[in-house]
Amino acid sequence: MGLDLFSLKGKVAVVTGASRGFGRAIALGLAESGADVVLAARTVSALEELAREIEGLGRRALPVQADMGDAAAIDRLATATIETFGKVDILVNNAGVGGSLPFLNIAADEWQRILDINLKGYVLCTQAFGKYMFKAKYGRVINISSAMGEYPLPYLTHYAASKGAINALTKSLAQEWATRGITVNAIAPSYFETDMVKESKENEQANALIMSRTPIKRYGKVEELVGLVNYLACDNASYMTGAVIPLDGGWSAG
């Protein structure tokens, strides 16, 4: 059996925030395991480049420009997926934004912006694609959360609140859809080598704090997320649902 246990051949996956970082690595990893992939992000040129890479692996790819804060764009994304592939098997909710501010300096519109993209975007995508999974009685929803959802640092209240809500969403929806053949899980990474953490890494004080919380004493690499996503996406993960899995170099162990 070997690697066939983790095969995604014949599956259709949707990855949001696919133009860079986690999303790009996840999309390539799913394609390497046999899935056709729908790529969603705001920067279409980066998606088209990634689509060519995936097609070079012998898989089909559909790049779709979509802002996860725009409900109409998410509906168009779902429609394009079904029109092109006829189904959706895997949804990876990954698109998100960060930010570091003292709590008293967070304006209402900034708080709302973080929640709209990080949380509302996940909700709308899961509703838009979940209805097809619900009808098919099969699906894998994988939410990229954060260690900040349960073990937050200061100055991240808006970001941490959005990720904590994703964890709760994951656990509640997993129970609601458990008898429909749909699993709902989350992965909670800590600090990885992405554009989002560049400022923290370059700040001596912030970097020292991050390393003090990370027993492995380094930042994660995006490739280290791929295997876990692929496992949660495959048929053999059918008994795992409602999990929020830390991938944090030991952050949550202390």
> How many angstroms separate the CA atoms of 231 and 71, rounded?
29
Rg, Å, the chain Cα set = 17
Nearest CA-CA partner of 58 in 38, 81, 35:
35
Q: Are 251 and 214 within 8 A, CB to CB?
A: yes
Q: Which two tokens stand for residue 210?
A: 């991050």
Write out 131-184 in H/E/C secondary structure: HHHHHHCCEEEEEECCHHHCCCCCCCHHHHHHHHHHHHHHHHHHHHCHHHCEEE
Phi and psi at 247, nearest 5°, equal -135, 80
Annotated catalytic residue 159: yes
Kindly give the pairing relationship between strand 182-189 and strand 244-247. Answer: parallel
Q: Letter for the amino acid at 70?
A: D
Active-site position among 122, 138, 159, 219: 159
Write out the catalytic residue numbers: 159
